[in-house]
Amino acid sequence: MSYDLLIRGGELIDPANGRHGRFDLAVTAGVVAAVAPNLPGEEAAQVVEAAGQIITPGLIDLHTHCYWGATYWGIEADPVAARTGVTTWLDVGSSGAFNFPGFRRYVAEPSRARVFALLNISTIGLVARTNELSNLAYCDEEMGAVIVEANRDLILGIKARIDRDTTLGTGLEPLRRARRLADRVDLPLMVHIGLAPPTLDEIAEWLRPGDILTHCCTGQPNRLVDDEGAVLPFMRKLWEQGLILDLGHGTGSFSYGSAEAMLADGMPPDVISSDIHQLAALGPMYDLPTTLSKFLNLGMTLYEVIARATSRPAAAMRRPDLGTLAIGAPADIALFRLEEGDYTFHDIHMQARTGSTRLVNTATYVSGVLLPRVAASPPAPWVTRDFPPEQRADSLFRPGGQEINR
């Protein structure tokens, strides 16, 4: 049988199908055509030798911000996708009802990587850094429902950032409206947590099985662990009932203390996502492979880490056709090297942990086509001003605020 692409000789990890071992992977017409040891390469149009590398489904980043040029946070998806193995991006709340049409036309449709969205309950989305829920007139459930119904191919859920700064005095009302909208359109709700008020127990009352709590390893006041490092009982109950815990590293939401406590107490993140945006891409988050490497060095196995960036986010998105190398699935593929060395990783508080391994992407394919590595646009002017000063010790900033390429 002839193939368009044959990737052979690597260690394949495909948690969606329970595969882990030495397999070759063949692609025809943009879909996975065969997965087996020692596939013949004589008739393949292109053969990629992957000895010493890891072959995975294209990574799915469940928490991103890629509405570049129209929002405070947004970066460009494709330049990052090509160097990180992320083939599916879920932009969470950058767009609201009033600016989703622009997101569709100028971001999702021209992107070579797959780009989906959670619609912000605020009609203005994340045009500014915060405060999008401070005016309840923006929390328009009716218009949100109209936009969802017209864009169900791209909108996979509803997003609400519920913390002290985003609500700015409106309390739980934006969350109530987000809950009603999510129920109305029968899609999951993702809720961001951080600073109180509202408090975590107040927020928890509005969460349902299949919803996503992002920033689950935050060290902020609404963290999921108590001062002794035990998971809060009401959060464990919600998790056992089906609440999905998403990491969402970002610039302000990953604490080694919280992560280590949750791992030790048997409640690790269900999904490991980056919360990549213009600031976080400069460090200490950097990108999804770096974030995954942090959990490798906290004791998770490679298989467990890959599952949390492929099959598990696919399930959370209700898209089992993605994050898999099943026969007939889209040939979204990532190749990595697991490099050995002496590495130091930081959380957002600049707490350091050393490690001996890191994942480094070598190639990214979407529908069997290699994504070219291209330069991203430079960060926006506000990035230099707003980047947390304490994080510059482990960032891509040069003295004087000039950024460099990673």
- Which pLDDT score, from 0 to 100, does residue 392 have? 85
- Which pLDDT score, from 0 to 100, does residue 406 have? 40
| DSSP string for residues in 296-338 | HTTT--HHHHHHTTTHHHHHHTT-TTSS---TTSB--EEEEEE
Q: How far apart are CA 390 and CA 329, in angstroms?
A: 44
Q: How far apart are CA 330 and CA 58, in angstroms?
A: 10
| DSSP string for residues in 190-258 | EEE--SSSSPHHHHHTT--TT-EEE-TT--STT-SB-TTSPBPHHHHHHHHTTPEEE---TTTS--HHH
Are residues 357 and 293 in contact, defined by beta-carbon separation less than 8 angstroms? yes
Domain boundaries, the chain: 58-316
- Which pLDDT score, from 0 to 100, does residue 400 have? 37
Per-residue pLDDT tens for 62-71?
999 999 999 9
Per-residue pLDDT tens for 109-120?
999 999 999 999
Sequence-distant (≥ 6) Cβ neighbours of residue 326 within 8 angstroms: 14, 16, 17, 32
Sequence-distant (≥ 6) Cβ neighbours of residue 233 within 8 angstroms: none
Sequence-distant (≥ 6) Cβ neighbours of residue 338 within 8 angstroms: 54, 302, 357, 358, 359, 360
- Compute the average pLDDT of residues 91-108: 98
Structure tokens belonging to residue 318 = 């209700």
The residue assigned the tokens 């052979």 is 8
**Confidence band, pLDDT 50/70/90 cuts, at residue 393:** confident
Sequence-distant (≥ 6) Cβ neighbours of residue 399 within 8 angstroms: none
How remote is the C-alpha of 243 from its chain's centroid?
Answer: 17
Angle at 315 between CA 311 and CA 316, to 5 degrees: 120
Q: Which of the listed CATH numbers 3.30.420.480, 1.20.1420.30, 3.10.180.10, 3.20.20.140 matches domain 58-316?
A: 3.20.20.140
Per-residue pLDDT tens for 6-41?
999 999 999 999 999 999 999 999 999 999 999 999
Of the chain, the end-to-end C-alpha distance in Å amounts to 41
The residue assigned the tokens 């469940």 is 62
- Compute the average pLDDT of residues 289-304: 98
pLDDT above 80 for 78? yes
pLDDT above 80 for 397? no
Q: What H or E segment, with its residue span, contains residue 369?
A: strand 369-370
Per-residue pLDDT tens for 301-323?
999 999 999 999 999 999 999 99
The residue assigned the tokens 């083939």 is 87
DSSP code for 380: P
266: left (phi > 0), else alpha (psi -120 to 50), else beta? left
pLDDT above 80 for 1? no
- Which pLDDT score, from 0 to 100, does residue 268 have? 98
DSSP code for 154: T
Per-residue pLDDT tens for 117-161?
999 999 999 999 999 999 999 999 999 999 999 999 999 999 999
- Which pLDDT score, from 0 to 100, does residue 402 have? 35
Q: What is the pTM of this model?
A: 0.97
CA–CA distance from 373 to each of 59, 106, 171, 288, 376 (Å)?
17, 20, 44, 16, 9
pLDDT above 50 for 394? yes
- Which pLDDT score, from 0 to 100, does residue 404 have? 33
DSSP code for 381: H
- Which pLDDT score, from 0 to 100, does residue 405 have? 38
Per-residue pLDDT tens for 240-275?
999 999 999 999 999 999 999 999 999 999 999 999
Tally of helices (H runs) and strands (E runs) in the chain: 12, 17
In degrees and rounded to multiples of 5, residue 188 shows phi and psi of -70, 155
One-letter amino acid at 206 equals W
- Which pLDDT score, from 0 to 100, does residue 403 have? 36
Q: How far apart are CA 91 and CA 106, in angstroms?
A: 14
- Compute the average pLDDT of residues 356-384: 96
Candidates 209, 119, 135, 221; CA nearest to 174 is 135
